[in-house]
Each structure stands twice: as C-alpha cells, then as structure tokens.
Structure 1
Amino acid sequence: MERSPLRIASLFFAALASFQAQAAVPPAVATIDRSTWPETLSSPALFDVASRAEILMFAHTLLQSEALDDAALADRLDLRTVNMPAIKDLRQQLWQRLWQNYNQAQQSCGQDASFCFAVDSLDDLRTQANNFAVAPDSFYANWGAPARVFDLIYLDELLRKAALSPQISSEVLKVSADEINGSDFNDRVFLLTFDSGPSIAVGSTEWVADFLRTQSINATFFVLGQNFAGRREQGEPGSLEALYKGQCVGIQGWQYRSHADWNDWEGSITRTTTVVENELPDNYVPLFRPPYGTRRADAGVFLGTQQMKVALWDIDSQDSNSQLTAEQSAQRVLTLMLLWRHGVIAFHDTQAKVQTALPWLLTQTAQAGIGWQECRQFQ
C-alpha cells in the first residue's frame, strides 16, 4: 500500500524523536560500594593489597576488551564509529601504567601475600590478568562481582572518550606533550583539584578551603572568571585573598563552556588570567583546565605565549553527575586511587557533595601511607 507524504513525514519524525530520546540517556557511570571490600586501608601494606586486586581486575577487563573487533567495540560503546588508533594508544598507556603500578604494589608482598603473583614484566601481568578470578569461597568474594561491574563501566568511560577523539578531545589522551596530568608523580602521591568555582554566594568554596586548611593540605582551585569577578565585586577588599589563603588558583576560562569551539576562547583565558593574577598574585598558577576536557589541537601555541600549561586529571570524582550520590562519588575516587596509585583528583568546590565526599576520603586513607602533592609543584 502506498503511503502518503504526510504519513511518511510522521514516521520520520517519530523515528527521529525516538533516536533523540535514546541518545539523551546518559552512559552509566562507574561506582562501587567499598563495603564489599572486607578490609580497611589501615596500613600501607593493606592499601597495597587492595591496589593489587584493583589492578588485576581492571587488567583482566582491559585484556578481554582487546578481543572485540571495531564493529563490536563500537556497538558496546554505543557509537557509530570508533577511532581505533586512539584506542590502541590509550590501551598501551593503560597497560604501561598498570604494570608500573603493580610493580610498586607488589613490593609489600612479604608483609601480605594476597593477590601476589610472579609478575616481573608486562607480559607476566597480562598472563596473570588473563587467569584472574575471585573464587566464590574467597575472603574477597563479595568484592569480586561488584568490582568487575565497576571496571567494565569505567573502562567503557575511558574507551568512549578515546573513540571520539580527535573530534572531541578529553582528559584521557594528551593533545600535546606540554600538557600535564600528574602521571609523573611519585607512587602514592595525589593532588586535590577543584573546578568551576568560586561558588556564586559565600558557602561551598569557603567550606572546602577551610576544611583543607584544617587538614594542612593545599589544592589547586580552577576558577571561572565570571564567578571570580562577581565575588570580587560583592565582597570586601581582601576577601578572595582570605578565601584562597594557602591554596593555588588556576583558571578554567571566563565561563564553563567548551573552549574547543568558542570563537572567543583566547579572550576567555586572558580575561580570567588578568583578573585572577591581579587579585591573587601569590596564589595564581599559570594552569588552564579546559571545561569538559575539550580543547583545540592548536591551543598549546597560544598558551605557550601566555607561559601557561593545560592541566588535566586522571581521577574524576563525577561529583557533578546527578547519577552519583556524595558517597558514591567518594567511593569511586578511592577505587581509582587504588587503581592508579598516584595522580590528579578532580572535584567541584561548587558541589555540595564534596562536603561529604572529601572528609570520607581523607578518613579512609589516613593510615594508608599516601601523600598529598604540594600544589605549587604541579606546573
């Protein structure tokens, strides 16, 4: 039966609406209930036990993903096409870091042999990852299945970002060698960073900065020029200096929007730099954190003229994601700290969740033998 043009148009728009509705469903975000892990991180050796377990489980998941062809991987990531060279590059980087991290974590095997295997090379790690499983009668049995789910979702987060590059850049792959992400930190050393501040009204950013000072920790706050200028205009002289006392302040641009396709991206950076450096000359650090992690491929040329570097991250709290509670965000961060063993943690000081997540995280790691990077050394 011949269909009328009106009927065809109706079917087309219905299909389009259905596609848009499906596309609007956000991808799952990895989190795990840390209570499934049966031990507290009450010593450096127990931190290493948990770290070895996380590394082996993630390596197992990563290895399995390599069996997928291009079409199967695109289907798994819900993408039409994938950039396989970028995915290959990311996988190589992940394997190298997993091997380095496991090698660090196995140094304490003499104190606790849990998850210790004969691993003397990357090839050995791949072999152990291939055979890795948590037995149903294991002391760690309750952790095994949730950890596998976490790693499947988290790996897809990483692979999806690589698959979309270079059209959409992100934090998982550097655009230039001048960008920094904490990959060269010493083992067990982490840097806290906070994005999108300051809070428009007095409150959340003040809480974070005050809490850090009570813990004798400093961090890097990446501020939005619009918010910063607004707080300067409504506050007393010196109020921003008091707010960020002892902390480092970098920039995110004038507004929280992608600088990859913004015609005024250079002006966004220079305006924000001027207002921050003039107001806080002792706190300012020449670092630019691109909103969403997106930046132009040639951004490094302009940033070089400003004596500025792109500052990325490798542990994302996802605290601005409505899918996660504050507790889930904190547990995600701790799991990634165990996996990556060093790096840059990204929170948002404008999110109320951080007031729950940050104290929990510091309590859980207080005896784990980790250290917090001096923010001035991240440049």
Structure 2
Amino acid sequence: MRVALFLSTWLLCLGAMATPNEPATLDRTSWPEPLTSPALFDVASRAEILTFAHALLATEALDENALKQRLNLKNINLDSIDTVRQRLWRQLLVNYNAAQQSCDQDASFCYLIEDMPTLREQAGKFAVADDSFYAAWAEPSREFHRRYLDEQLRLAALFPQTGSEIGLYGAHEFNGAEMNDRLFLLTFASGPSQLPGTTDWLTDYLRKQSMSATFFVLGNSLQARLDKTSQQAVRSLYKGQCVGVQGWEYRSHSHWQDWQNSILRSNALVKQQLPDSHVPLFRPPYGQRRADSGEFFQSQGLQVALWNIDSQDKAASLTAEQSAHRVLTLMLLWRHGVIAFHDTQDKVRTALPWLLKATAQSGLGWEGCEDRMPASDGGR
C-alpha cells in the first residue's frame, strides 16, 4: 500500500508538470549607467522593482485556464499562487521604500509611493518613454520580468505538493528573505568539483578577496576527493569557508526512501573530516524536500538552507555572462538575500568576478558565512 501511495503521488506530480521555459536573463549593458554609487544602485533598483510590479499586476487578470496555458502546466494550485503573489507585493513595497531613500540625490523612477494602493497604481501605469535615457533598457527588462515572474508563479503553482525555494515549510528553513537591505550571502552547491577544478579556483579566489561563502557538498563527491587526496588537502581546500551538505548524491530528497540516511551520512562525513568548516545546513537538490520533514531536521539540529536569487548557471542555454547579469538584476529587484551558484560549473569563474566588479561601489554588503550559523549552534 505504501508503494502504491508513493507511485500515485509521483504520477500526480508528474502529470501536473510540463517542460519549463528557458530561464530569464537581461543584458545589463542595456542599462546606461554603471552602478558606481549607492544612489545609482537605487535608481536601477527602483526601475527593476516597478517593471516587475507591472508584470505581477498584469497576471492578476488571468483566470485559471489562462494561467495554466501561460505556465505550461496541466494542474495549478491557485491558493498557492495567490499566497505567493501577496508575499511578492509586500516585499516589493518594502524594497521600493528602501530604494527611494536616495531620491533626493537622483529622482529617476521616483514616485510618491507610501502604501500598497499607490504601489499598485504606479505599477499599473508604469512605462518608459521612447525618447527616455533608459529606453534601450525598457523592453529587455519587461521581457526579463515577464519570464522571471513565470518562473516564480510556476513554482508557486506546484507548491506545496512539489517543494522548491518558493516557500518555506517551517521555522527550520530560511531563504534569505529576513536579511537586511543591501546584504547578500554567496552559496555554492553540488561540489566539490573533480580535481583540479572550479572548487579549488573558487575557494582560493574568495580567500584572496577576503570573502567567505557557504559550500553545500555532496557526500559521494567529498568522499571521492578524500580518496584521491587527503584529509589535510580537503581541509586546506575549504579553509576560511563554511561547508554544509546537499545529501550523499544529487537527487530529489522528496520521494527518495533513503533521504534521511543521505543527509545523515553526508553530514557525519563533513562533521568528521571538516570540523572547522562544518555548518549544520542542508541545501535540498532542486529545492525539493518533504513537507513533513521538519521534525527530522529539528531533531538533528539542521536547518534547510534555500535561496531567493538563482543564477541558473546549470542551464545550458545561459552563458557565464548571462548568468552573472541575471544575478545582478535579481539583486537590484530583491535588494538582499541568498545567491545560489554551483561550484561544479566553470561559468562561476567568469560570473563571480564580473559580479563583484559591477557592484564594488554600490554600497552592498557580503555576509560572512559564519553569520548564517543557527543561533543555537554557538559558532564554530
């Protein structure tokens, strides 16, 4: 009976899903100004917020059938979509309020927005004139936010039956939404890469920049590294960084019968081999985990570490530059949060340096990985 229930649930989820569209990206060279000050970051942020809000408002006129067609799904959860929409609106209002604090320095894209009704009103009539200084950016940005919004609504349409970063199952999970304005955390998953590889380059690069990030490793990949090198070599690899787990292998932990052992086994390996770098965090592959898994994670002292800014660097359709440009656009939109890269992808060698250079004078902060430690852990 248990097997039959699993199969029926799996088939139901499969039947609801269809092939997603290619991930959204925006060529940042269409934006006419470099982000060389906090005020100029805010100008670009206000522009992206209003463009996304305009796209979000337009979707509220779509009925269920129209949403299914647009999202390329056979079944959708309308309540989940509405919940995510409301959460997005609340975040947009908070973000725009933060971005308009510098309007006395540069009034571009500044409107009198004090509450939700005025935000919705301005979003509805937001447009960029053809002769505007920002005209070359306007249409590419509209297309980006339409496609990016579809990504989010598609995840919402499948939640909570299919877990993802779009929502939390409990207080044992976080996605960066609670972080302060202009503060970001770098995370890398699916490693370590084969030797020599991107993980080696990346950890060395971060140390040279006096930065730290959280690496979510796969148990089998870490064991392969240990077998080929040594414990000391692996400890040197992650020196100054934080290491959480992504399970023993890269597969969904939502319908896998051995999901608990996958997490326990990989977490024990990291804790034993990398005691100075280990953090009690689990990053679910594909963002998928069981809705009823909270008791397990809490009993193990683990937090589920999600994200709100996805580089989509694993997508074959995106180049390294496009992935970096996508991340920057989402940083402007959400203004804080957890950025997800993969250190098994060579794209990060180009994407990360470009991103740091593009934001170097923007007044942003990069949260140290140890600052993300659960309060009860007491530090490393």
| TM-score, normalisation: structure 2 | 0.93
Match of 2:317 in 1: 323
Deviation at 1:377, TM superposition (A): 1.6
Which of 238, 250, 259 lines up with 1:265 in the alignment? 259
Which residue pairs with 1:146 in the alignment? 140
Amino acid at match of 1:131: K
Q: Give, in whole Å, the separation in 2 of the partners of 1:345 and 1:25.
A: 24
Q: 2 CA distance for matches of 1:267 and 1:236?
A: 24
Q: Does residue 1:135 correspond to 2:129, yes or no?
A: yes
Query: Deviation at 1:80?
Result: 1.4
- Cα deviation for residue 178 of structure 1 reads 2.2
Between the aligned partners of 1:236 and 1:297, the Cα distance in structure 2 is: 38
Identity %: 60
Q: Deviation of residue 200 (structure 1)?
A: 2.3
Query: 1:368, CA displacement in angstroms?
Result: 0.4
What does residue 162 of structure 1 align with?
Answer: 156
Instruction: Report the CA distance between 1:177 and its aligned residue.
Output: 2.7
Alignment of 1:1-379 (within 5 A): 26-378=20-372, 379=374
Tell me the distance in 1 between the aligned counterparts of 2:115 and 2:272.
50
Would you say the 8 A contact 1:223–1:253 is kept in 2?
Answer: yes
Structure 1: tracts of 5 or more residues without a match: 1-19
* 1:320-370 CA distance string (max 9 Å, x none): 110100000000000000000000000000100000000000000000000
- For 1:275 and 1:229, how far apart are their aligned partners in 2? 8
Is the Cα contact below 8 Å between 2:172 and 2:298 reproduced in 1?
no
Determine the structure 1 residue equivalent to 2:9: none
Q: Is the CA contact 2:20–2:72 (under 8 Å) kept in the aligned structure 1?
A: no
Instruction: Assess if the C-alpha contact under 8 Å between 2:18 and 2:73 holds in 1.
Output: no
List, as ranges, runs of 4+ consecutive aligned residues in structure 1 with deviation greater than 3 Å.
23-26
RMSD between aligned alpha carbons?
1.2
Structure 2, unpaired ranges of 5+:
1-13, 375-380
Q: Is the alpha carbon distance of 1:165 and 1:26 closer, same or farther for their aligned partners in structure 2, counting shifts above 3 Å?
A: closer
Counterparts of 1:201 and 1:27, CA distance in 2: 33
C-alpha distance in structure 2 between counterparts of 1:254 and 1:28, whole Å: 28
Q: Secondary structure at the match of 1:253?
A: coil
Distance 2:88 2:332 in 1: 14
CA deviations over 1:278-325 (Å, ceiling 9, x no partner): 011111110000000000011111111110010000000000110100
Contact 2:39/2:105 (CA < 8 Å) preserved in 1? yes
CA contact (8 A) 1:300 1:309 kept: no
Give secondary structure in 1 for the equivalent of 2:65. helix
